[in-house]
Every structure is written in structure tokens, then in C-alpha cells.
Structure 1
Amino acid sequence: MSLRRIVIRYAVVTLLIAFVLGYAVKGVVEKRAYLEAIDFFQYNPNAGKAMAAAEKLGMDPMEYYVRYIAPRNHPELGMSSLHVGLKYMAATLRDLFLSSGGHSSWNYLYGTATPSWGYIYRTLLFLLLADVSVVFLALLLSFKAVRSERFYGFLQMAARTFNGIPVWFFVVLFFLIIIYSPIPSDLANGLKGSGVETLAYFLFPVLSVLLVASWGLAEGITVVMREEFAQPYVEAKKAMGLPERRVKRHVVRASIVPVLHVWLQNFIEIQTLILVVDYLFRLNGLGTILASALVITPDSVFFYPKTFAFVVVTLVLLNFLVSLTVELLAIKLEPRGVA
């Protein structure tokens, strides 16, 4: 049943994203069609016929061109937004897994940056390093908070404090530390090199995410474990004379499944932090390419929906696979059995 809910949830998310994406794509294509209409009425020998037809219908010639002529070259204009969105999400996946180096007639929807696996690899590496660090620190904090009521109060206060601080605050703080200290300035000038030598460039980005995301996860884990310690079976096991270590082992085992779900929520939430920090530290991952999807100039605004789709589809697919994996693990590890 839980697996079904996950599939339904992500199906709804996919449809919502497809609708927004399709609306954006149709807007960009329509704008392009209006530009093409200028050349059509200036140079095309059939322009007179089109103008006569538009006048007969009481329409502006430009509008007539976009509605009746442009769909021959841009079939998206005759489709619903949902249909267009699903079409281009599928095209994004096709480009990703079966890329041949070109994107045919809709290449302009990608803008200046062509998505590739390199962006995904760098983001996944950043996400892995950050999440492992967040989980490790959160576990240390939560184990201490379970044992100490005073520290639990501190953890609650810290979680609310750091959750209210935007991640870019710590990015700026680390930039200042790098600038006004002997630390190599290259660490703030974008990702360089290849292989293991690139790991040093992830140090401050990971710390930025760690300072924001670990406290909330630690509080969530602590709440789960404290609730488990309050269950009647814990007192019963203590009354049976079981050693404290064995009792804690039972509590930890019983807490695994709810803790997995707390972690999953945190994993999804920190991806926004990852995108922001990636862009600010110029790590050349999904955050960097997402920023190129929207270009604002003094004269105009350019939105590249296929680049936007590349980032969104990648993250939705990642979260769907991780959610399925967590649910399957939860079914396998559930100590009380599955109802």
C-alpha cells in the first residue's frame, strides 16, 4: 500500500511539473512564432492571402499566423500544456540516456548550456558528501540528546535557530574566511581539476549545508527515539533484568524504520540547499545549470524550459528511486511486521 502511495504521489508530481513545463514551453514557442510572423509578412509570397484570411475572420494578422500557420512548424501550439510538458519531459530523458549530441529543432529551448551527465555526477557527489556528513553529525547529536534532557532542550533551540538562517549566509561567511585568511582563494573560485583533487573544493560547500541541515534531522531522530524509549515494552524488558545495552539495541532496531522516513524527508529538503550552494560556489552542477535557465537582461527576460526540465526531471527521478528504496527497506526491516 505504501509503495502504491509513493507511485501515486510521484505521478501527481510529474503531472504538475509537466503542466507547468508545458505552459512555459508553449509561451517560449509562441514568442518565437510571433518573431517568425514578422519575416513571414515581409517576405513570404503567401502573406497577402494570410492577411486577407485574417481580415475575413476579424483577427490581427500576427495572431492569425500564430494560431493557424505557426502550428505547422510548431505543433506544440496546438497541444494542451500537459501534453507538451509530458512530451518534453520524455524528450529530456531521451536526451539524457540516448544523447547523440544534438537536439533537433528545439535546441533553442536549452539555451546556452547543454545538459550532460557531468552536471549530474558533480551534484550527486556533492549531495553524497553533504548527506553523509549531515547524517553522521545528526546521529551524534541525537544520541546525546536522548541521554540528556538538558542537551535535548539545546538541540531544539539550535534546530529552530539554524533552520531560520539561509544557507547563503554561511556561504558568504566562508567566502570572508577564505578571503581574509591564508586559505587558498581557489576554494572560492569554482571547481577545478579532476578526480580526488576536486574533493577539497567541496569542503566549504559541505560545511554550509551541514550547519543548516543537521540540527533539524538530529531533532527528528531524537523525537523518534525518545518516543520509542517511552513505549511500555522498554520498561517490561528492564523489569525482566535485561542489560541496558540490550534494551537500547531493541529500541534502536525498533526506531530504524521511522528514522529512515525522517531521513528521507531531510534528504529531499537539503537538495534545495545543494542547488543554492552549488551555484554560489560555482561547482558546475545542477544548481549552476539551473541558474542558466533564466537569464534577465535590461531589455528582456529569457527562460529556457528544457534546461529547467533537465534539473527538475533529474531530481524527481532521483527522489522517486530513493523513496522506493527506503520503502522497500522499511518493509524488510520493520521489526513488528507489516500489517
Structure 2
Amino acid sequence: MEMEECELHNSLGLFRVAVRFTLVLVLVAFLVGTGVKAGLEQQARNELLDYPDYLELYENATRLGMEPGDYYLKYIAPKKHPELVTPTVVVGFDALISSLAPPKDEMWRKIEHRHFAISRREAFLRTFIFLLVSEIVLVLLSVVVAFWALRSQRVAGILSIFSRVISGISVWWLGVVFILLVIYSALPDDILISPGPGAGILTVLKAMILPVLTVVLMSFWRLAVEFYMLLRREILSPYVSYKRAVGLPENRILLSVFKAISVPALSVWFSHLIEVEGMVIVVDYLFRLGGLGQMIASSFSGAMAETFYFIPSLFAFPLLVFIVLNLIISVSIEFIKPKLDPRVG
């Protein structure tokens, strides 16, 4: 009976993942599609300035009570830019898929390379390494601090206070502090050097020291508090007191506690991971690591409307990467949960 309930719960979990993924994909596609269509509208308005039959267009627009620009966008521009009359979500979805490779149009390919010269594969690997190293360090640190807090109420109090304080500070603030400390101290400035295209792994890892430290110091507090609360609640359970009373080794008791909290701990970790991904994007741009964060920032260029560029391919690719990455992790967690559930086996 319990096995059937767990299988049903697992199926519902996968269904929730599918629904969540679909909603996120549709929202992101709508966002990207809106940006693409806005860029095409601006491009079409610029084309209107050189339109050869402008006088005829002006007469037709006046006859319909329309502005020339609106007339051009509605009746003429869609022949050259069919995306203008295509549903926004469809345009965005096409842009997401197309972002897996450099633009086919030579002009957009040159624009993309001028603003972000690092390849997609290299940018993805840099961000993946950055995220992986940060997660390993902060999870281990969170577990250690959570156990420390269990043994000391003073540490638990300090952890709770710092968690509330740090949650109100932006991650870029600590990054700027580190940058200023390096600039105005005896530390070598080369740890702030942005690794360019084709940089070696050691150069990239060296450049990630301060970024990883920034993410870990700004994010592990809340995760440590969550782990501490799970451990504390489980250790105070009657079955733990019973096992201690019958003289079971402490290691076996802790192992059973770990197994009992493993499922909720996975959910807590994944929720925290999504927050860390946002921090990684910001810190990547702040330290110019040449990853997906800098790629997103490079998709917007220009301070004035006349010189503003939106490069859809640079904006869509990082979003697609994080959507797929989170989908893979979500599905993996749903398959792992039944194996960790103490009610099974």
C-alpha cells in the first residue's frame, strides 16, 4: 500500500514538474518574443526612412486615418518581417531554439560577436563550473554549520540573525567590496582579470576565486538555517530518543536522521539552487567571467534609443540553458525521492 502511495506521489511530482516547466517555457518564450518583435518594429521604422514609395504610402495612410509608420508596420513590413504578425509565443520559442547556434544572418552574427566574442559552449562551461563549485562549497558549509548550530544554541542564534541580515543585502554589494579590497590592498590584481576567449582552465578557476566566495558568503546562511531546522525537528522526534535509549550507536542514529530528512532537504536545496543561479548570473557579469551572466548583459547595448541594440540570441541562450538545467534536476529529484523515502523498502 505504501509502495502504491509513493508511486502515485512520484507520478504527481513528475506531473507538477511538467506543468511548471511548460508554464516557465511559455512565459520565457513570451518575454523573448516580445523583445524580438519590439526590435523588428524599430528596425522596420528605420527602414521606412529609406522607403522608395513613401509619397504613395503617405497618401494611403492618410486615406485610412493612420500614421505612415503604423501603416508601414501593419501592411508592408510583415512581407519582409513575417515575425511581426506571428504570435509572440511562437516567435519567442523560435528564438530560443535558434539561439543554440550563432545567427544565420551575417549582420546579426557580426553584431553578436562584437558584443560577446566567447563561444556558447565556453560560456556555458564557465557558468556550469562556477555554479557547480559554488554549490559544492556552500552545501558542505551549510551542513557543517547546521550541525554546529545543533550543538550550540549560541551558534544557532547567530546563524538565525545573520540569515535575516544577509537576506536584505544584494549579492553585488559584497562583490564590489571584494573588488575594492583587491584594488586597494596588496593582493595581486590579476585575480580580477576577465578571462578572454579560449582562456585555460587554470586561468578561469583563478578568476572564479572571488566570485565563488561572493556567492557562498551571500547564500549559505539561509540554506544552513533550513538544514538546521530539518535536523532539529527530526532529532527531537520520539523514535530518535527511543534509539538512543536502547543504546544504538550515534552514527547509526544520525544515518537514520539523514535518510528521514533527505526528501525535504532535496526540495529545500533545489529551491535554494534557483536563487543561487540568479546570484551566479549577477556575479558573473560583475566580475566579467565571460559566462552566461555576461552574455545576458551583452544582449543589451547602447544608452540612447538611437544606438540601442537588443540581441535576441545572446539573451535567449542563457535562459534556455537554465530552463533545461532546472528541468533535468527537477526530474532527477523526482526519480531519486522514492529511493530515499524511508517508507519505501
Give TM-score, length-normalised by structure 1. 0.89
CA offset digits 1:193-215 (Å, max 9, x no partner): 40234322211111111110111
Distance 2:179 2:65 in 1: 61
Establish whether residue 4 from structure 1 lines up as the match of residue 10 from structure 2.
no
Q: Which residue of 1 aligns with 2:286?
A: 280
Distance 2:341 2:305 in 1: 58
Counterpart residue type for residue 35 of structure 2: A
Counterpart residue type for residue 22 of structure 1: G
| Superposed CA RMSD | 2.2
Distance 2:55 2:184 in 1: 68
Distance 2:68 2:194 in 1: 50
- Report the identity percentage: 35
Q: Which residue of 2 aligns with 1:168?
A: 172
Note the C-alpha offset of 1:106: 8.2
Which deviates further from its counterpart, 294-303 or 62-71?
294-303
Establish whether residue 233 from structure 1 lines up as the match of residue 239 from structure 2.
yes
Counterpart residue type for residue 126 of structure 2: R
Answer whether contact 1:18 1:82 (CA < 8 A) is retained.
Answer: yes
Establish whether residue 256 from structure 1 lines up as the match of residue 262 from structure 2.
yes
Counterpart residue type for residue 134 of structure 2: A
Note the C-alpha offset of 1:172: 2.0
Note the C-alpha offset of 1:91: 1.8
Answer whether contact 1:37 1:66 (CA < 8 A) is retained.
Answer: no
Distance 1:90 1:304 in 2: 15
Establish whether residue 314 from structure 1 lines up as the match of residue 300 from structure 2.
no
Note the C-alpha offset of 1:337: 2.8
Which deviates further from its counterpart, 184-193 or 270-279?
184-193
Q: Which structure 1 residue ranges, 5 or more long, are not aligned?
A: none
- In the TM superposition, structure 1's runs of 4+ consecutive aligned residues that sit over 4 Å from their partners are 46-49, 108-111
Counterpart residue type for residue 78 of structure 2: P
User: 19, 25, 36: which is aligned to 2:47?
Assistant: 36
Distance 1:198 1:16 in 2: 33
Establish whether residue 104 from structure 1 lines up as the match of residue 110 from structure 2.
no
Q: For 2:115, what is the secondary structure of its paired residue?
A: coil
Distance 2:45 2:158 in 1: 60
Note the C-alpha offset of 1:72: 0.7
User: 203, 219, 234: which is aligned to 2:225?
Assistant: 219
Counterpart residue type for residue 155 of structure 1: L
Q: Which residue of 2 aligns with 1:60?
A: 67
Q: For 2:289, what is the secondary structure of its paired residue?
A: coil
Alignment of 1:1-339 (within 5 A): 1-40=12-51, 44=52, 46-92=53-99, 96=100, 99=101, 102-104=103-105, 107=108, 110=112, 112-113=115-116, 116-191=120-195, 193-298=199-304, 300=306, 301-337=308-344
Answer whether contact 2:126 2:204 (CA < 8 A) is retained.
Answer: no
Structure 1 residues 113 and 176 mapped into 2: Cα distance closer, same or farther (>3 Å)?
closer
Q: Which structure 2 residue ranges, 5 or more long, are not aligned?
A: 1-11
Distance 2:183 2:103 in 1: 41
Distance 2:31 2:107 in 1: 18
Counterpart residue type for residue 118 of structure 1: E
Distance 1:174 1:58 in 2: 59
Q: For 1:143, what is the secondary structure of its paired residue?
A: helix
Counterpart residue type for residue 201 of structure 2: G
Answer whether contact 2:126 2:291 (CA < 8 A) is retained.
Answer: yes
Distance 2:65 2:120 in 1: 47
Q: For 1:39, what is the secondary structure of its paired residue?
A: coil
Distance 1:123 1:332 in 2: 30
Distance 2:332 2:108 in 1: 35
Structure 1 residues 273 and 55 mapped into 2: Cα distance closer, same or farther (>3 Å)?
same
Counterpart residue type for residue 115 of structure 2: T
CA offset digits 1:247-281 (Å, max 9, x no partner): 12211111111111111111111111111111111
Note the C-alpha offset of 1:107: 2.6
Which deviates further from its counterpart, 107-116 or 127-136?
107-116
Answer whether contact 1:224 1:255 (CA < 8 A) is retained.
Answer: yes
Answer whether contact 1:168 1:276 (CA < 8 A) is retained.
Answer: yes
Note the C-alpha offset of 1:244: 2.5
